[in-house]
Amino acid sequence: MKSLSKMIISFLVACGVALLTTLIGRAAGPYYITENPLTWLSGSGTPTTISTSDCRGSACRYMYQDTVNPATWRWAYTRANIYNWYVYRPYNGEAAARYWWRTYRSGVKDNWYVTVNQSTNKGTWAYLGYSDYLPNDYGELRLSNQCVSGYWCGGLKVIWDDMKYDTSP
């Protein structure tokens, strides 16, 4: 009887370890975010949705470059964690796009900016950066259709396609 109870306990411990290993592995990602949950922050205009196989998931959004009143949009807030951020460069990309990360803790704590040239390396993921905002309150990833200094600005489409991130559990 003792050996049977030891086997049952060993089996339960092994199942518990396997379950925890699986949960930890899944906690790291990658997680994908489509272009759909964008929230307007400022500026004028609304991104146009297009359905095309040039974009990841067969759809993306775009706005034309703007120097007068560019729009700023963001993805949903994220919880405090450590993130590695990536953006998909669709096959129909034309312009340079500016992305930035903003971290909050009783006001703005940190900002960083990244420019992604969408006209090169099409169909690949571009690394945006690393955000470590523990123990801050929350953060957000922003994007805009503002012309980017040092790149041609002639009314090209700034495409917003899928994002992805991994976390450190």
Domain layout of the chain by residue ranges:
29-167
Between CA 169 and CA 161 the distance in angstroms is 26
* pLDDT class of 19 with cuts at 50, 70, 90: very low
pLDDT of the residue at 1: 65
Cα 17 versus chain centre, distance: 31
- Phi and psi at 94, nearest 5°, equal -125, -35
Backbone angle region of 162, left / alpha / beta, with phi > 0 → left and psi within -120 to 50 → alpha: beta
Average pLDDT of span 40-46: 88
Q: pTM value?
A: 0.73
3-state secondary structure string across 96-133:
EEEEEEEEECCCEEEEEEEEEECCCCCCEEEEEEEEEC
Q: How confident is the model at residue 73 (pLDDT cuts 50, 70, 90)?
A: confident
Q: List, for residues 85-104, the tens digit of each pLDDT value.
A: 899 999 999 999 988 887 77
Q: What is the mean pLDDT of residues 68-95?
A: 83
Q: What is the largest CA-CA distance in the chain?
A: 81
pLDDT tens digits along 119-158: 999 999 999 888 765 555 677 788 899 999 899 888 899 9
**CATH code for the domain defined by 29-167:** 2.60.120.260
Give the HSE-up count for residue 125: Cα atoms under 13 Å, Cβ half-sphere.
12
